[in-house]
Structure formats: structure tokens, C-alpha cells
Amino acid sequence: MPRRRRSLLAALLTLPLALTACGGGEEYVPDPEALQIYSSQHKNVTEAWAEAFTEETGIKTQVRSGQDSSMGHQIVQEGEASPADVFLTENSPAMTVVERAGLLAEIAPETAAQVADHLVPSSGDWVAIAARSTVLVYNPEEIAEAELPDSLMDLADPAWKGRWGGAPGGADFQAIVAGMLADQGEEATGQWLEALQDNAEIYQNNIATMKAVNAGEVPVGVMYHYYWYRDQAGDRSGSGNTQLHYFGNEDPGAFVSLSAGGVLAGSDRAEEAQQFLAYVTSPEGQQVLADSGSMEYAVGTGVASDPALPPLDSLNAPPVDPFTLNSEQVIALMTDAGVL
Amino acid sequence: MPASSRSRGVTTAAALVAALAVLPLVVVGVQASAGGPGTAIDFLFRPRVGELLVHTGQLIAVTVPATIAVGTLAAWLVERTDLPGAGWWRTLLLAPLAVPAFVSAYAWISLAPAMTGFLGAALVTTLAYFPFVFLPVAALLRVLDGTEEEAARSLGLGPLAATRRTVLPRLRPAISGGALLVALHLLAEFGVLEMMRFQTFTTAIMQQYAVGFSDTAGSLLASVLALLCLLVLTVEVVARGHRRVARVGAGAHRGAESVPLGPWKVPALLSLAVLVALALVVPLVMIARWLLVGTEAVAGEDLLRVALTTVGLALLGGLLTTLLALPGAWLLNRGRSALSLVLERVTFVASALPGVVVALALVTLTVRWARPLYQTVGLLVLAYAILFLPRAMVSLRSGLAAAPPELTEAARSLGARGPEAFVRVVLPQAAPSVLTGFVLVALAIGTELTATLLLAPTGAETLALAFWSASSELDYAAAAPYAAVMVALSVPLTLLLRRQILEER
């Protein structure tokens, strides 16, 4: 064969090895030296925590990103041998899945002491690390404030057909429904979900919902507060035409969801994992969250959330026990209603 | 080493590869039946699954005929008429292959946000997939002997009737092959449909994965999708027919006269221009526009890192796939036996499965029974190999055909041993085709989305993943650089395929 072609072939054969080596190949396998953090929290927040923690303690960390429910079930399937040392979620139901499988270690009492009592389940198996509130985003050009629903439950009315949007495929929305289930019971929630299937415009995620409302595709949308505040703090291109409506009044639409952090019982770095969780809930760790621009609520005692947000205790959330939220039942109800 | 034991070794290797390729199907089947028939019936026989079935069927029923019509007509105009600038049109009509379908969807949705649902999905998939029909039909039209057509004309048929009666029937294998590819791609499509908010089985499986990781429900949906793939494959076998396309005997090949378009010249040029504008210009212009909007949306070093990872994975995957395709291709080349044909078909059927089915199966398999492989680059590359084996196989076969057994035997008689004969005689002859197969696989890997989403190891980010994560947050500016690099990396594909048409003999 011509010499030129032979050297081309040789180059092709060796290139992938060279590339995976210089493209940081070693970072694609769990580093046995590093604390393994499974996280369905926002990537930038998790990474900010991990970097700050490593800087303070010198302990190496590695983050695997995923989605709430998927990652919770992933850890359950991985079982005792899961590579994960720490699990951080966006919403507590994903953590409850792992807790029910008996895979969580009890968190250190010092860590629990860094947040308010009502932010740790009685089992002591995990701790809240952040919080987010349900809101109704609306486009004042499409709907007057006076016409907004009084309750999230009102959206089941046929009058709202085609006039509201949401992302029921996502864990955020499913957590809101879990709150509704705990507050309103199975029958009311099932009916509401059936109405959702008939009435709602389904979007990929919260951001798509917000942008659809902003573009006037639907007058209102159900989502979490922080997407709106993040966009407002930026160029407002996705939310410039919209306002937020807080249901308050202990309505299911005022549900506040806790993000959770837990240490895996099967962790071979249990001490470092506890250290990490202690850091995340500490005043420094919570300040990292408040400064991250994620616009989630800080939950550590003595740390203020971003000043743009209405205070967490002013939201008048429904009295739902976050530790009994049942995402499995939500999935079953959504499957029955034909949403999933 | 005696010849028989050597060929037994190759047969064993080919059988192992075929077994590897059907593995996902087996795992998904086992996992789906884990809950028992009651669970399966309750889950599958409900309105939601009916809705998914209707959506998937609607899309196939509209997009497949649309791509056949557009692809065949365009190929006929380019290859059989006096269309001005035919060479340019040929390239332009293949060029949409360099734009991944989900990038095209991104362009359309950011141009016309209201264009969602069925119409948007059908439009974008038609524009992205018509080259699958155009390519084989153009290649065949180019070599189809013109004498039958002339005979039909001399017997009194007009030009259109002659084409319909003599050319169209002979195009059947090319059209049905192209249509098969379109249908399989539609069954596997995720990115376009998710962006267009049009739910089919593949999007539902991805959603089920998000809800329950590798649970029974996901595998049940995946089994239905696998059955749909088998159905499509069967329909194609029937549609292809058994008609002989080739002429008997060597004889002198004669190209066909080109049909004068006459007054149709302007409308023909206009419709091709509109087609190219919709399929190629819209995506490219929108990418360029978002690139200009967000010049600082993505750091250069991030882009470089992600691009290098993608290229590395593509090359590794290309290498493994080519190696795995070798035994089967070799067997087929050195004598078609019933066994070698079965092995080939099995590999092809398994590879017709959507990426999400293969990925789901591999996750389920490794998390339970092969933990050391779980979340590794190796597993991801293996998934790529299972998905793209046929691409390597087809090219390898034509390459090996260029090095007939007699050459190897001659080399042996001159004292070269097995491996030496292979390296010095077979490889040089087959090298160009091996490279083509390798490049085809690598390019497919470079834009693969669903399997990568499920299997990428911790920390690994590819162009398709980075593009997807930005565009699913509707951050069009941050997605644009990744889209641009994917398109740029796919340009060689178009050039390779164009050469394939030109060299077809």
C-alpha cells in the first residue's frame, strides 16, 4: 500500500488513545481517591459547593449529574455497592425513594443542628439543603391579574382548557403533585391530573413553560420561582413579559419543596461524606448557595437568601409534611391519568 | 493451521458478535416480562399507550411517503434530466445529511416557536431524512441502463409513461431501502420530537427512564418499540419484491438519454431551490444567527474539550465497530452459507433498534450483572458498536470483495503465513473501504444523542449532550457553537456519500 495511506491508517489507530488521554480520560471513571457526589441539584450549585469544599478541606470530589427520580432509582438499583457517597436532590421525594430502600446513613447531629428542626425528617436520614416555591407565572398581556385562579386546584376547571402550561414529566412538577396528594388526598389529586391531561399544554421543563408564557403561547404556567428570578437577574429575555403570582393561603399551589442531602450507608468514605454535608448546610456552604445566582432559598440558620426573593416564611405554604411525600404514588396516579 | 479450523475460528467470532448484537433485545424482553403478564397488560393496554402508537404511526404514515416523493423526484431531476447545474444540486441535496435532525429542529423552533406538534415534527423529519431516499435512488438511476426506456418509447409510450413503466419498477429496491432507513430513524428519533412536543414511544421511554431509571415500565415500552422495528423490517422485505434489477450478461453499458425539461425547467429549479432552502439554508442561517447573538455564551476551552471528547469517542467507537464487523464480513465474503446469512441478518435486526432501547438494556444489564463495566467509556463504546455495526459491515464487505481469496492463497504459496498474508495482501486492497466504513461509524457516533444521554460516564460530555442540555433550556445562543461544530464535523460524510453515488457502477 502507498506509504501515505499506511501512515494515515496508523494515525487513525493511535489517535483515539491519544485523544482520550489528553481530553482528560481519567476523569471519566470514578476516581477512587475522590468523594463521589451523585447530584440532581443544579450543576452549577453542586460544582460551586464541591469546589469550595475541596478548597477548604483538601478532599477531592467528583460529581455525577442526573435527574431526581432517575438518580434516586439508580442508587436503589446500584444498592449497597453504589459508587455514590453523597446524594443531593432538587426535590425531597427522590431522597425518600433512597430512604425507603434503607440505603441512607443517619446524618451527623451537628449537621442537623445547622438547619431548623422542621427541615430534618424524624428518621434523621437526610437534611434539607435548599428550598424552592411553586408559583404561577402569567403574561399580563394575555390575562388580567384579577382573572388569575385563586387556587392551583381551579386549573382543573374546563374554562382553563388550553390556557395553562406545565412540565408534568419533570421531577419539579411531580413534587408539586406529591404536595397536593398529601394535602388534598388521592381522589382530588387524581381528578386534577385527569383535567391536566385534558387542559394543559405540556412542555419539556420549567424554562420551556416560562418562555411559552413569555411568548404568549399560553396565558399562565405552573413552575418554581427561581427560573423566573434567574432570568430577571439576567437579560430577562425569557421572562420580560411575565409576572409571578404566589397563591399563598396554604394552597397546594403555594407548596414549598425541599432539596435534600444524604449520605449513603454503603459509602466507603462515610466520614468525608458527613463532612461534605456538614459543609453544605453550614453558614459558609449556604452562603455559596445564596451567592451562586441559582435563586433557590437558603435553609441554613442565619443565612439570608438572595434579597430579590420574598422571604420564605411569608409564602404561607400548605402544612405538608415533606417527609411523607410519596413520589411512587404520584407516578402511579399520573400513569392512571395518562400523563406518563 | 488447516483452513477448516481457521474458518471455524472466524465463524465463532462472527457468532459472538451476533450474540452481542441481540443481547439488548434479550435483556429488554426479560426485564419487560419481569412483572408478569398482568402488569404488562395493565400497563400497555391503556389510552396513553394507544396515543403513543397513533402518534408514531401518524408520523411514519406522513413522513415516509413524503420523503419517498421528494427524494425520488429530486433524484430523477438531477440524474435523468437536462437540469442545469446537476452536479451542484446533487451535492446540495445530500448536504442536509451533515445537519443532525435535532439541530434542524432547533433551527426551526427558534425561527418559528409556534411550529410545534405533528406538523412541525413531520416537516422537520421530512427535510432531514429525504436524502436517505435521494441517495440510493440517485445512485441507481445513474447506472440504470437506458435501453429498456428506449424500447418502451419506440413502442409508442410517451416519456412520462415510459419512465413510469420501465424506470419506476426497477427503482423499487432503492426506494424501499431508503424508506426503511427513514422509518427506522423515525422510530428512534428523540431530539426532534421532544423539541416539537410530539410524543412517541422513544420520547416516552426517555421520560420513563427519567422517572424510574431502568424499571419494568420502560422495558415494556421498549419492547413495543422493538416490535415496531421488526414490523417495519418485515414490511420492507415484502415491499422490496423479488424483481430482477440487473441486466443479464455483461454487454456494453449504456447510460440513459437525459429527458429535456422544456417549460418545466423553471418550476423544477424553483422547487429544488425551495427544498434546499428549507432543509439546508434555514438550519445554517439560524445557527449562524445564534452564534452572532451569543459570542460569549460558551468558553472556547469548554468547546474544545467537549469536541475532543466527542472525536475521541467517535474514533474509539469506529475502531471497535470495524473490528467487530470484520469476522461477519469476512465470512460473507468467503462464501455465502445459510449460517453466515443468518448471522448477518441478526446483526442488522439488532442494529435497527433505537439507541434508547440498546442503552436501556445495557444499563439494566450492567447495573445488575456486570458492575465493573457500568458507567464506563467501554460500555458506551460497545453501545455505539451495536448500533452502528451495519454501516461498517456494508463497507467492509465491498472492501474484502476487492481482495479475492485467490490473492491470499497466492501469498500463502509464496510463503507468507496467515496474519502476514492478511496484512500484506488483504489489508492494502481493502483499506479504502475499511476507512469509509470507519468514517461512517465515527460520524454517526459524533451526533448520537439518546444512547449517550443514558450511558455517558461521569464527567464525559459530548457535543450532542452539550447541545441538548443548552437547547432543552431554550438557550439557543449557548447551543449554537456545539451545533456548528457538529455540522462542521459531519461535512466529510456528505462528501463521502456523494462520491459513493458518482462511483456506483
Task: Choose between B274 and B300: higher pLDDT.
Answer: B274
Over residues B475-498, mean pLDDT: 89
**A327 in Cβ contact with A94 (< 8 Å):** yes
Instruction: Give the whole-number percent of chain A exceeding pLDDT 90.
Output: 73
CB-based contact B308 A22, cutoff 8 Å: yes
Residue pair B402/B393 in contact by the 8 Å Cβ criterion: no
Tell me the per-residue pLDDT of B84-94, one tens digit each, with 9 for 90 and over: 999 999 999 99
Q: How close A261 comes to chain B (CA, Å)?
A: 19
B296 contact residues in A (CB cutoff 8 A): none
Helix pair angle (B463-471, B300-333), 10° resolution: 130
Selected residue of A4, A22, A28 to mutate for chain B interface (largest B Cβ count, 10 A): A28
CB spacing of A204 vs B472 below 8 angstroms: yes
Dig out the grid coordinates for A116 from the structure: 431548623
- Determine the distance in angstroms separating the CA of B46 from the nearest CA of chain A, rounded to an integer: 8
Write the single-letter amino acid at B347: T
Residues of chain A with CATH 3.40.190.10: 34-130+257-309, 132-255+327-337
> pLDDT by residue (tens digit) across A203-215?
989 999 999 999 9
Q: For position B505, what pLDDT does the model report?
A: 45
Q: Do A12 and B315 touch (CB under 8 A)?
A: yes
Question: pLDDT band at B223, cuts 50/70/90?
Answer: very high
ipTM for the predicted complex comes to 0.81
Which residues on chain A are in Cβ contact (under 8 Å) with B305? Answer: 23-24
Pick left, alpha or beta for residue B241 (phi over 0 → left; psi -120 to 50 → alpha; otherwise beta). left
Reduce the DSSP state of residue A326 to 3 states and report it: coil
Which DSSP letter does residue A103 get? -
> CA-CA distance, A296 to A224, in Å (whole number)?
9
Grid coordinates representing B39 are 402488569
Per-residue pLDDT for B295 more than 80? no
Over residues A291-309, the pLDDT tens digits come to 988 999 999 988 999 999 9
B212 contact residues in A (CB cutoff 8 A): 69-70, 73, 331
User: Which residue, among A173, A177, A242, A162, has the nearest Cα to A205 in the 3D structure?
Assistant: A173
Q: How far, in Å, CA of B470 to CA of B473, rounded?
A: 5
Cell numbers standing for residue B349 = 435486526
Residues of A in contact with B213 (CB under 8 A): 69-74, 76-77
Q: How confident is the model at residue B504 (pLDDT cuts 50, 70, 90)?
A: low
**Tell me, what's the pLDDT at A25?**
40
DSSP secondary structure string, B176-230? HHHHHHHHHHHHH--HHHHHTT---HHHHHHHHHHHHSS-HHHHHHHHHHHHHHH
| Distance from the Cα of residue A56 to its chain's centroid | 26
Q: What is the pLDDT of residues B170-205, one digit of tens each?
A: 888 889 989 998 999 999 999 999 999 999 999 999
Whether the predicted pLDDT of B471 surpasses 50: yes
The C-alpha atoms of residue B387 and residue B40 are separated, in whole angstroms, by 27
Nearest Cα residue in chain A from B309? A23
Query: Does B459 contact A70 at a Cβ distance shorter than 8 Å?
Result: no
Question: Are residues A16 and B315, on separate chains, in Cβ contact within 8 Å?
Answer: yes
- Closest Cα in chain A to B210: A70
pLDDT at A130 over 60: yes
Mean pLDDT of chain B: 87
Residue in A with minimal Cα distance to B215: A73
Does the beta-carbon distance from B48 to A13 stay under 8 Å? no
Lowest mean pLDDT among A141-155, A317-331, B175-189, B418-432: B418-432
- Inter-chain touch A28–B207, beta carbons under 8 Å: no
Containing H/E element for B271? helix B265-276
Q: Do A23 and B308 touch (CB under 8 A)?
A: yes
The reported pLDDT for the residue numbered B129 is 95
Q: B435 and A24: CB-CB below 8 Å? A: no
**Nearest residue on chain A to B207, alpha-carbon basis:** A169
Of B113, B215, B316, the CB nearest to A73: B215
CA of B229 vs chain A CAs: smallest distance (Å): 22
Q: Average of pLDDT values for B100-117?
A: 91
- Phi/psi-derived region of residue A137, left when phi > 0, alpha when psi is between -120 and 50, beta in every other case: beta
CB contact set of B500 (below 8 Å; sequence gap of 6+): B135, B139
Collapsed DSSP state (helix, strand, coil) of residue A133: strand
Tell me the C-alpha distance between A179 and A198, whole Å. Answer: 21
Candidate from A22, A74, A340 with C-beta closest to B207 = A340
pLDDT tens-digit series, residues B17-38: 999 999 999 999 998 998 889 9
Tell me, yes or no, if the pTM score tops 0.90: no
> A23 and B309 in contact by Cβ < 8 A?
yes
Chain A residue numbers touching B48 (CB-CB < 8 A): 335, 338-340
The residue with greater pLDDT, B492 or B245, is B492
Which pLDDT value is given to residue B160?
79
Reported confidence tier of residue B260, pLDDT bands at 50, 70, 90? confident
The CATH class for the domain spanning A132-255+327-337 reads alpha beta
> CA angle, corner B497, sides to B496 and B498, nearest 5?
90
Quick check: B240 and B172 in contact, CB under 8 A? Answer: yes
Q: Render pLDDT for B366-421 as a digit per residue (tens, 0 to 9).
A: 888 888 888 889 999 999 999 999 888 878 887 787 777 788 788 888 888 777 88
pLDDT in tens, A47-60: 999 999 999 999 99
CATH T-level fold of A34-130+257-309: D-Maltodextrin-Binding Protein; domain 2 (3.40.190)
Contact list, A8 vs chain B (CB under 8 Å): 435
Average pLDDT score over residue span A33-45: 91
Question: Of A203, A204, A217, which has the smallest distance from its Cβ to B114's Cβ?
Answer: A217
